[in-house]
Chains A and B, each alone.
Chain A
Amino acid sequence: MNGLTFDIAHLLAGGLVLVSFMMLYQDRLFALINVFALHAVVLALSVAWQAYIQDAHHLYVTAAIALVFKAIVIPVGLHRIIQRLGIHRDIETAVGIGPTMLGGIGLVALSMVLMLRVTPEADPLAREDLAFALSIILLGLLVMVTRRNAVSQVVGFMSLENGLVLAATGAKGMPLVVEISVAFSILIAFIVIGVFLFRIRERFDSVDVGALDDYRGEHR
């Protein structure tokens, strides 16, 4: 493999991690969704690049799915949901932005150390890819943990799934049917969660998951 293809793959995967970091400090919902759309675009580019260098045409389909659904359909859907719910106000982050960013840096360091240690004999491209994918998954989890708003938790979940797709495309020989089924399951999860958002909203006049806890008689 020549240096340039590797560098571009590296750049795109690294870009994905960077966008994940951007997601950590967005405290407005619209901005968060826009960053998520950017995340999906970078993912689509990265997958398409993998398709090119691996000469695997079915990965173009994956890239197209990522681009259409995650960069366009889901963000537009989320925009509409937010408008219909009427929540344009600030996100209340549960943890301050500074500690969250520091935690994110720690997580990326952890996944690098771990992946480079456990896969010494793997293909260097796949190694880097896996390390970045693990960072993205952990950052997605961190987004879910540090937010209270259900919409932003959905966004965190979606970005976590992007990490999974990145890991899957880095591993050569992943069949298309698996990717399509993963993409569909994500879409269905999105629909189900969307329905739930409205149900929660109907009942509690809020999509703050804290309201659910209050309903259960618990304390935060």
Chain B
Amino acid sequence: MISSAAVLLWGVAALLGTAVLAVSESRRSGSGTRLIYGLTLGISAAVLLVLASRIANDPVTPSTAALPLGLPWIGAHFRLDALSTFFLAVVNFGGAMASLYGLGYGRHESAPHRVLPFFPAFLAAMNLVVMADDAFTFLLSWEFMSLASWALVMAHHREQDNARAGYIYLVMASFGTLALLLAFGLLSGPGGNYTFEAMRAASPTPLATAFVLALMLLGAGSKAGLVPLHVWLPLAHPAAPSHVSALMSGVMTKVAVYGFIRVIFDLLGEPAWWSGVVVLFLGGLTAVLGILYALMEKDLKRLLAYSTIENVGVIFVSLGLALAFRANAMPSAAALALTAALFHVLNHSFFKSLLFFGAGAVLTATGERDMEKLGGLIHRMPLTSFAFLVGCVAISALPPFNGFVSEWLAFQAILQSPDLPEWGLKVMVPAVGGLLALSAALAAACFVKAFGITFLGRPRSAAVEPAHEVDRYSLTAMFSLAALCLLAGIVPGLVIDGLSSVTLPLIGSRMPVQMAQPWLSIVPIATSRSSYNGLLVFLFIAFSAAAAAYAIHRFASHAIRRGPAWGCGFADVTPSSQYTAVSFAQPIRRVFGTFAFRARETVEMPPPGQTGPARLDVEMHDVIWETLYLPIGKALDFATDHLNHLQFLTIRRYLTLVFLFLVVLLLVLALWP
């Protein structure tokens, strides 16, 4: 019997083969596009079937495979345990949906030969990262994933800003891989054994553990978009074609989360309790800042990318909680927090893909990403707007959709914090809980804005005029995801029970069995503390809405009155007097803008007696970019300017430099204690 890891490797090989095929096929537009996306859809679906049979039969027993590739004395090891099975399911489901969407969306692609070969390669690379069982394979796949996604970001490299986005992405990705390389170097220890099995067995010193944690936060955090390493994400994710944006935001950030969980929870052993504080703090900061940036944004795809940063923050808060509970031997609470994190990983991959698909549909229909030029699309694209609305409700964590369940689980874990012994955590966890609540509320505001400005109101520009509903492939992809958002919200117990096989090996504990509860309720700790029933909420909402609608239609007056529409006090009602994305966010900017963005509003009044209009100018700064990245750039410029002289020395000087450096090294060696 061939192991499931080997079967999945065949799947990866098929994806790579598709990538090679795409190089020749992409010249034929139309049929080539359909062939490639059809193949990736088929392969992802087949891999999902394998994973489903594994989950149904025996998700816990690891399945391994080795290939004689890579470093000669190691080879390439692959392993499939519960954690990687879960993340592979996320990756391949996202891949299948993106391929389905691409079947329709890809027809509008202006440069298919820049997208088609890299799309299957990107999927293959993400699969490999999750399956890797030694550091060399992991890093190689990770870098392959970065480069394939970079090529996709650069697909439309002639567009303004895309080249800059690609450059910053490349720099940050290289930096992240460097951090990972050093982390694995520390994990492998002086023996230099790069298999994960040896790393699991080794027990690093507390100092090395701290360094590995810091390096993983830098390496995996920069890929996931943890503040302050997020700067590339809102530039690069929107620059790619929309189904690739969905993959990058919905899936690639999850692969980064996988890397973090794999190293910190599986390979590293037991980090100290304060590591939880660090992760919690960074997660809370990321959540709030990410959503604040999203609120200030008027480009739809960039807004979604910033919201990805917020969701990564939510996931990291849950991971930090799991670390804190595990360090204090509270396994059931740790299992709850880790389940919340993994559940949110799954949810975010659903609704963020859905939202990016919706944004892509809007982009196809109107050619616009700027919300200030959209509006009124609900009349022209009713189905897309309905699916987008479902995504907005789900990401705003409103019941009965799935976003609510995972954030609710995270709050249930936060409510366990009084049992923690350390005062640092006792103080920190409720504070981060506050940040999480704030970010959830801001996210709701943000997506009211995203949906309202884009789909409601009246068209703000002529770009909306030719818009019409998108093709059925795209709609199928969006509605499948919308249905899953609802389903995961109504039957969360199924997901939670499925995740128990992941938490069990990592934490040594699991949440109570949820499917045994009556009426699909979920009870994270005990019935006396808290429970939630998505089905009940859904039925209540459906029933009360239907009853209200019926009551209004039945009992309201049928007399038709015609009169002038109320002009809201404006004499001249034009589309420009509606809410705009910027004006909607203004109250929030007033509250948070001064410290988060150093925002400054200046009003220029016309001089007395003049009838000219007043001007309101808003000046905003990206504080993190200006205080962290610009100085680094300046220091680098300074250093390279001054080191430039070294390019023009005489031969003898070069020899002298080499000689002096050798002597200095020997001196250091001689004087080393």
A213 contacts B669, C-beta separation under 8 Å: no
Within 8 A of A (CB), among B640-665: 648-652, 655-656, 658-659, 662-663
Q: Give Cα A154–Cα B415 distance, bound, in whole angstroms.
A: 77
Whether A111 sits at the interface, judged by CB under 8 Å, is yes
Please name all residues of chain B whose beta carbon is closer than 8 Å to the beta carbon of A118 when the two chains form the complex. Answer: 669
Is residue A195 within 8 Å, beta carbon to beta carbon, of the partner chain?
A: no
Judged by a CB distance under 8 angstroms, whether B618 is at the interface is no
| Closest CB in chain B relative to A27 CB, distance in Å | 17
Say whether, besides A110-B670, A145-B656, A218 and B663 are in contact (CB < 8 Å): no
* Contact indicator A138/B663 (Cβ below 8 Å): yes
Chain B residues near A216 (CB, 8 Å)?
648
A203 an interface residue at 8 Å Cβ cutoff? no
Q: Does B549 contact A (CB under 8 A)?
A: no
Task: Return the chain B residue nearest A216 by Cβ.
Answer: B648
Question: Which among B650, B658, B670 is the interface contact of A218 at CB below 8 angstroms?
Answer: B650
B residues near A141, Cβ cutoff 8 Å:
655, 658-659, 662
Residue-wise interface mask of A (118-154) relative to B, using a CB-CB cutoff of 8 A (1 in contact, 0 not): 1000000000000000000010011011001000010
**A213 pairs with B651, CB closer than 8 A:** yes
Q: Is A94 an interface residue (CB 8 A)?
A: yes
Assembly CA distance A11 to B561 (angstroms): 120
Q: How far is the CA of A114 from the CA of B666 in the complex (A)?
A: 7
Quick one: which of B648, B655, B666, B670 contacts A145, CB cutoff 8 A? B655
Q: Which residues in A have their C-beta under 8 angstroms from that of B639?
A: none
Closest-by-CB residue of B relative to A107 is B663
Is A65 among interface residues, defined by CB-CB distance under 8 A?
no
Enumerate A147-173 residues with CB–CB distance to B below 8 Å: 148, 153
State the CA gap A114–B662 with chains docked (Å): 13
Q: Is A113 interfacial (CB 8 A cutoff)?
A: yes
A30-63, CB under 8 A of B: which get 1 and which 0?
0000000000000000000000000000000000
Query: How far is it, in angstroms, between the C-alpha of A153 and the C-alpha of B649 when the chains are bound?
Result: 17
Mark A178-220 against chain B: 1 for CB-CB distance below 8 A, else 0. 0000000000000000000000000000000110110010101
- Give the CA-CA distance A107 to B652 in the complex, in Å: 19
B667 interface residue per 8 A CB criterion: yes
Question: Is B650's CB under 8 angstroms from A213's CB?
Answer: yes
B669: chain A residues within 8 A (beta carbon): 114, 118
Return the contact of B650 from the options A114, A117, A153, A220 (Cβ within 8 A): A220
Interface residue total, chain B, C-beta cutoff 8 A: 15
Q: CA of A141 to CA of B666 in the docked complex: distance in angstroms?
A: 14
Contact B659 A218 (CB under 8 A): no
* A218, B652: Cβ atoms closer than 8 Å: no
B269 to chain A, nearest CB (A): 34
Residues in chain A near residue B658, CB distance under 8 A: 141
Please tell me the number of chain A residues within 8 Å of chain B, measured between CB atoms.
Answer: 22
- The total of Cβ contacts below 8 Å across the A-B interface reads 41
B650 and A145 contact, CB distance less than 8 A: no
A215 to B656, CA, bound (A): 20
Q: How far is the CA of A144 from the CA of B649 in the complex (A)?
A: 16
- In the assembled complex, how far is the CB of residue B663 from the closest CB belonging to chain A, in whole angstroms? 7
Instruction: Report chain B residues within 8 Å CB of A209.
Output: 650-652
Output the least CB separation between B625 and chain A (Å). Answer: 40
Which partner residue on chain A sits nearest B649 by CB separation? A218
- What residues on A are CB-neighbors of B663 within 8 Å? 107, 110, 138
Alpha-carbon distance between A113 and B655 when the two chains are bound, in angstroms: 24
B-chain residues with CB within 8 Å of residue A114 when the two chains form the complex: 666, 669-670
| Nearest residue, chain B, Cβ from A109 | B670
Q: Give the nearest-CB partner of B672 in chain A.
A: A117
A179 CB to nearest chain B CB (Å):
24
Given the known A-B contacts A141-B659, A141-B662, A145-B659, are A94 and B667 also in contact in the complex, defined by CB atoms under 8 Å? no
Which B-chain residue is minimally distant from A212 (CB atoms)?
B651
Pick from A110, A138, A144: contact of B655, CB below 8 A: A144
User: Whole-angstrom distance from the CB of A41 to the nearest CB of chain B?
Assistant: 26
Report the minimal beta-carbon distance from A118 to chain B, rounded to whole angstroms: 7
Interface contact A111-B662, CB-CB below 8 Å: no
Q: A141-B659, A145-B659 are in contact. Are A110 and B652 (CB under 8 A)?
A: no
> Known contacts being A145-B652, A210-B650, A213-B651, is A113 close to B670, with CB within 8 Å?
yes
For residue A29, give the distance in angstroms from its CB to the closest CB of chain B. 17
Q: Mark A90-123, 1 if CB is under 8 A from B, else 0.
A: 0000100000000000010011011001100000
Closest B residue to A118 using CB positions: B669
17 contacts between A and B (CB under 8 A): A94-B652, A107-B663, A110-B663, A110-B666, A113-B670, A114-B670, A117-B670, A118-B669, A138-B662, A141-B655, A142-B659, A144-B655, A145-B652, A145-B659, A209-B650, A218-B649, A218-B650
Extra pairs beyond A94-B652, A153-B655 (9, CB < 8 Å): A110-B670, A111-B666, A114-B670, A138-B662, A141-B655, A144-B655, A209-B650, A212-B651, A218-B649
Give the top 6 A-B pairs by smallest Cβ distance, nearest first: A213-B650, A114-B670, A141-B659, A145-B656, A113-B670, A145-B659
